[in-house]
Amino acid sequence: MSSVPLSQLTSLPTYASSSTSRLKSLYSDFTFQKQSNPTSYSSNVEWWRRTLEGALLRGWLSESHNTAAAPDRLVLHANGVSFADNFRVEGVGKPLSIPTVISELCSSKALIPLSDFLNASRSIYDPGWLPYRIASVVVGKPLWWALGQLGIVDTQAGAFGDSSTAERWKKVKGDYVVVSLLESAAERILERQRQKSTGNIADVLYNVDSFREEFAACAFEDAPLSDSDIKVMLKFLERDKHAVVVKGEVIKFLEQGVSETPEVTAVDSGILSLKTAVEKLQKQVDGLQHRIDERTRQISESLRQKRKEIALAQLRARKQLEEVRQKRLESLNLLESTLLRVETSAGDIEIMKSYESSTATLREILSHQLLQRDKIDETMDAMASANADAREVDDAIQMGAEMAQADASVDDSELEAELQALVQDVEKEKEKEEATAQAQRDRLAAGGLNAPMHTPASEETAQEGDATRQRETVAA
């Protein structure tokens, strides 16, 4: 396998941000750092994880990336020692620890062997999936540690011991599903399906070819889906996401929240056949129209060159194409109308199922004992009686309040007489003060002095305050 060009490698974010000294460290054999320097070991593994995913997503690591076939972008083909040649860098060499990285990523389930992924009946998210991994953790690691403590084995060597790079490659050689790339591509496919679905049954049905054509643009940004990618994607969507059901060539997307057991029915197969036929006829009509337009252009060109015989032959050919197009259009219209009737009938079945379910639900609710006629009459009578009792209580409280107010009433005439007496006392006091002030002014005048004709502001204020307090006392 030829190496990936350096210009491509340096376009990866991991390479663009790494110096030559850093690359030398990453390309060295850091297998034993897991025990001596776990932080550096984890950092190196993570760097290689992002590098492998980035290169695979761009189609650089597929076994068929030099052929006309679509490269795999979900399946990593770790085909042995030659795989490291993909990352050969002048002045640095080729990486020595990729087997260690692959083994570590398998332990963390970032990579899953392709055969295990396709053959497993349980979801990859099931904690009990692949029991041998649980055994390796529960039994293998404690046993290995115990043997290491006794000096029987060297725990520092890890799973590979001090075997050579070639021996390590023999243990990890194979094909692996990259889970993170699979998950992100699946989410984009599901989002695309949600956006395009209009509720018609035909919108959720595909065969492999139409699935590839419909979702290639969103899964990998206009990159085609390879056969391996489609096989892995459909298995993931069906088993792990419960988003599709696959039967033969029929792929059916499932609606969220549907409680019925998902299955592909004969109706689904028939609708998909009609849908496929309509799509094929539409492509034929489009192709014929393109050929007719090309003939029209050639006729015009021949007439401009005064090549009448050639123009006549092209006109005859265009006429034949138009006849074929007309036949295809009639067939297309017939198939489209048939598909529409089938979809309508299938939709009517779903509507009737909803009616039936709603009727059963309503009857179950109406059969409740609280909604029986006798119980309703009894409840309403009890409510009327309770309301009557409440009104009687309110009337009694109102009557008692009125009686209490009558007992506590005071004669208004007595209050008025007392108020008038207080007002007269205040006026007499004011007249007395004015007489005293006048007498003082007369004495001053007799002595050749003039007294002020008004009471000082402070005294007026004090007098007004006293009068106000007296009125408030009377009112209280």
**Phi, psi for 205 (deg, rounded to 5):** -110, 135
Give all strands of the β-sheet with 244-247 in edge-to-edge order: 205-206, 250-253, 244-247
Residue type (1 letter), 245: V
pLDDT of residue 291: 94
pLDDT of residue 293: 94
DSSP assignments along 149-209, one per residue: HTTSS-GGGTTTTT--HHHHHHHH-EEEEEHHHHHHHHHHHHHHHHHH--S-GGGGEE-HH
Give all strands of the β-sheet with 75-78 in edge-to-edge order: 75-78, 174-178, 111-113
pLDDT of residue 340: 87
Residue with tokens 């699946």: 186
Spans of the chain, pLDDT less than 70: 1-2, 63-68, 128-163, 257-261, 405-412, 447-476
**Phi, psi for 77 (deg, rounded to 5):** -100, 95
DSSP assignments along 262-315, one per residue: P---HHHHHHHHHHHHHHHHHHHHHHHHHHHHHHHHHHHHHHHTT-HHHHHHHH
The tally of CA atoms less than 13 A away on the side-chain side of residue 297 is: 6
CA distance 308 to 302: 7
pLDDT in tens, 220-234: 877 888 899 999 999
Using alpha carbons, select from 260, 238, 239, 261 the residue that is nearest to residue 251. 238
CA end-to-end span of the chain? 109
DSSP E strand stretches across 23-83: 75-78
pLDDT in tens, 236-291: 999 999 999 999 889 999 887 565 667 888 888 888 999 999 999 999 999 999 99
Q: Are 27 and 89 in contact (CB under 8 A)?
A: yes
DSSP label of 78: E
- What is the sign of the dihedral through the CA atoms of 424, 425, 428 and 433? negative
Q: Which residues pair with 76 in a beta bridge?
A: 176
CA distance 364 to 347: 26
Classified as helix, coil or strand, 318 is helix
Q: Which residues pair with 251 in a beta bridge?
A: 206, 246
- Percentages helix, strand, coil for the chain, rounded to the nearest 5? 70, 5, 25
pLDDT of residue 61: 85
